[in-house]
Amino acid sequence: MSRRTKGGKTGGRERNMKLNNSHVKGILCILAAALGFSLMTFFVRISGDVPTMQKAFFRNAFAALVTIVLLLNSEEKFHVKKESWPDIAFRCIFGTSGLICNFYAIDRLGIADANMLNKLSPFFAILLSVFILKEMPSALDITATIIAFIGALFIIRPGGDISVVPALIGLYGGFGAGTAYVFVRKLGGKGERTPIIVLCFSVFSCLVTAPFLIFQYHPMSARQWICLILAGVAASLGQFGITSAYKFAPAREISVFDYTQVIFAAILGMVFLQETPQLLSVVGYVIIIGTALVRWYYTLKRHTMENEQ
């Protein structure tokens, strides 16, 4: 009897160790993803005066090649579920428009500001989930979303002049990404494979941006080619890092670590681009990241209490 009890305790400890190890792996993967996306932003920025559409094309072309190789080595190859096509179409439309706007903002704002506006996507996802997934947000989610958008105003700094336009376009980048994530969740519920979703998005983005590449091609130096290739490599690290992260641990437990992307971007901007975020921008960062931290803490606490009951 005592042996079973001892074994049970040992088994419990082993399960907890495995769970903790999974959390560590998930956090490491999401940190790698955050670093990857911040490096993507950095390389897009230092690629210079290449048109936005041209940058978007090469970023997605590389991701498409990587995904094609993965799918060729899978059993189902390029099979797409019939019921997935409408949601894939919306994911591609919002994801592509959001990406283009994010790249536009990267070229015209500090890279930390551009990253922070893009990181409003989870709050947009909360709002869009009401209409797309019929998920009613909690009072905490609604409050967090309102406070996060107040934080965004410190970054956008609306003053009626033309300088606010890139920030508003960057804000739409976050909206497009958030809407795309909702459709990704919907596709996940239908059992659609991640590589298929990534491939459809990448190919669609290439098709949208290709005409601009053909008619307004900007000759690139060897340095610019290297920068855009590295941006594609970094983006692939980000995409597959974040996909792996959520396989190891639930989003409610690790998603907050994705905001380290803004910190990585700020460091890259200060060290290599001599960009110092304005004080009001820093206030905005603190409000948005602080809101995300509080929401993460209470969501985790609520889930723990529900499991104990």
For the chain, what are the domain ranges? 97-191+278-309
pLDDT at residue 12, as a whole number: 46
Instruction: Give phi and psi for 73, each to the nearest 5.
Output: -95, 5
Sequence-separated (6 or more) residues with CB below 8 Å from residue 34 = 238, 257, 258, 259, 260, 261, 264
CA dist 210 and 304 (Å) reads: 49
Contact 147, 287 (CB under 8 A): yes
DSSP letter string over 36-69? HHHHHHHHHHHT-S--HHHHHHHHHHHHHHHHHH
Percent of the chain exceeding pLDDT 70 equals 89
- Per-residue pLDDT band for 277 (boundaries 50, 70, 90) equals confident
CA dist 135 and 122 (Å) reads: 14
pLDDT at residue 26, as a whole number: 81
Q: Which of 42-46, 62-66, 93-97 has the lowest mean pLDDT?
A: 62-66
What letter would DSSP give residue 192? -
Q: What is the pLDDT of the chain when averaged over all its residues?
A: 85
- Per-residue pLDDT band for 250 (boundaries 50, 70, 90) equals low
Contact 194, 71 (CB under 8 A): no
Sequence-separated (6 or more) residues with CB below 8 Å from residue 153 = 284
- Torsion angle, CA of 56/57/59/61, rounded to 10 degrees? 160
Angle between helices 52-72 and 85-108 (to 10 degrees): 140
CA dist 255 and 243 (Å) reads: 12
Owner of token pair 């606490």? 301
pLDDT at residue 98, as a whole number: 95
What letter would DSSP give residue 249? S
CA dist 147 and 130 (Å) reads: 18
- Per-residue pLDDT band for 1 (boundaries 50, 70, 90) equals very low
Half-sphere exposure of residue 85: CA atoms within 13 angstroms, side-chain side: 5
CA dist 244 and 266 (Å) reads: 25
Residues 189, 193, 199, CA angle at the centre, nearest 5°?
Answer: 125
pLDDT at residue 7, as a whole number: 47
pLDDT digits (tens, 9 = 90+) for 119-173: 898 889 888 888 998 888 888 888 988 999 999 999 888 765 666 899 999 999 9
pLDDT at residue 5, as a whole number: 46
Q: Is 74 helix (H, G, I), strand (E, B) or coil?
A: coil
